[in-house]
Structure 1
Amino acid sequence: MNTKRQTIWLVSMLSLMVILSAYYLFTEDVDPGNNMLTDGGSQEEKLGMDATEAAAGNADKLDGLTVTEVTEAADAGTATETAVDKEAEKADQEVLRKLDAAAAGTAGSIFEELQYKRDQKFAEENNRLYSIISDASQDAKEANKAAEQINQLEDKSSKKTGIEDELTKQFSNAIIVEENNNKYKVVVESEKLERSQADNIVMMVMKELEVGADQVSVQFIAP
């Protein structure tokens, strides 16, 4: 019985020694590593702090010198670009203004305006005469007179259109403008107008509208 107890005690002591030896060995291996890692970490932190401080110091220098100069140069460049952009925009607007002015003065637009005014005048006169006919308070004499004037107005308009159609065989555009005192101005689009051409136009208008030579004038507009 005693022998078994001694044997168990001896085995326990040996196991304890093995555990203590292993613990001692592992403890020795880990501690230096930890010290090295800790030292390395401290050195890295120190290096990082030194680098940060150095960068901050350089940034202070750059703020005082280089960065300020670059900012000023950038501002100057921006101001120059803005001035150039404004000049370019101003030049573009001037070109557009000239183009609009030129377009407004083209021969085509002039003829369109003359045609519009003539049509408007015809419509106003036509409406005035029809209002007389439709007015129940007007006597039969006034109504008949208005009806006759409508026929004359339409006949004259038809004759002017016929003359213009004939003139457009020679010219790009042509229009007859009725002026005061039963006078007519013929406007044609042409680079130039020969005296013989003007005379032929006058003769044509005199014949179709049954007016005298002093009632007709001719004008040409360059395209």
Structure 2
Amino acid sequence: MTMNKQTVWLVTMLTLMVVLSAYYIVTGPVEPVDEAGRPSGENEVQVDLKTEEADSKEEVQKASSDYFVGYQLQRNNLRSKMTEEYMNILTNPKSSKKELEEAQRKIDELMKVDKTESVLEELIRNEGFRDAVVISGDRHVDVIVQSEKLTHSQVVKLISLVKKHLDVPATQVSVAYRP
């Protein structure tokens, strides 16, 4: 199976786009600063009238949100490295036909799992959870949701969603929560 340069280039650019998107989601926008270290155009003194309790609640939510984004970013980085390894095999002129087919199969499998995990995370958010991360391994799937607590029926619903979309037995699904 030969891959033309256009296909290799396209897959490489898509991988790069995923990595950069995740990076920009985590870092947020960058604003220029003046000599005093303030964002440019900000000359007024702003007063924060929020209570300490509200501030600490926002900090907890931000830390929890960072936890989920961090997990997703870590997963994307790992997948990007794996895809890059397989792309190196595909672009290596010394690779055998069997190696090329295996590398292409692995890339297709990674893309399928990544898409399925993303769909599952969105479905879980639609179930009323603030955030979720799905981590699928060879035979086991971990689901972590952002919630204060989980009821038995919520756990059953999450396991059935995973079972339906990833075709794994219910005994191979772990569900956890994080406030």
Report the TM-score range of the alignment, normalised by the length of the smaller protein: 0.5 to 0.7
Contact 2:143 2:173 in 1 (8 A): yes
What is the one-letter code of the residue matched to 2:111? Answer: E
| Counterpart check, 1:210 vs 2:146 | no
1:198 and 1:216 map into 2 onto residues whose CA distance is 10
Contact 2:141 2:172 in 1 (8 A): yes
Structure 2 length normalisation: TM-score?
0.63
**CA shift for structure 1 position 178:** 2.9
**CA shift for structure 1 position 207:** 1.3
Higher relative contact order (CA closer than 8 Å, sequence separation 6+)? 2
**CA shift for structure 1 position 105:** 8.2
**Residue in 2 that maps onto 1:138:** 95
Equivalenced residue count is: 122
Q: Which runs of 5+ in 2 are unaligned?
A: 1-55
**Residue in 2 that maps onto 1:113:** 70
SS in structure 2 at match of 1:186: strand
**CA shift for structure 1 position 106:** 2.4
What is the one-letter code of the residue matched to 2:105? Answer: E
SS in structure 2 at match of 1:188: strand
Contact 2:116 2:165 in 1 (8 A): yes
Alignment of 1:71-220 (within 5 A): 106-169=63-126, 170-179=128-137, 181-220=138-177
1:27-48 Cα shifts (integer Å, max 9, x gaps): xxxxxxxxxxxxxxxxxxxxxx
SS in structure 2 at match of 1:171: coil
Aligned CA-pair RMSD: 2.0
SS in structure 2 at match of 1:177: strand
**CA shift for structure 1 position 184:** 1.2
Identity between Structure 1 and Structure 2 (%): 24
Structure 1 length normalisation: TM-score?
0.51
Give the number of the structure whose alpha-carbon radius of gyration is greater: 1
**CA shift for structure 1 position 182:** 2.7
1:135 and 1:168 map into 2 onto residues whose CA distance is 41
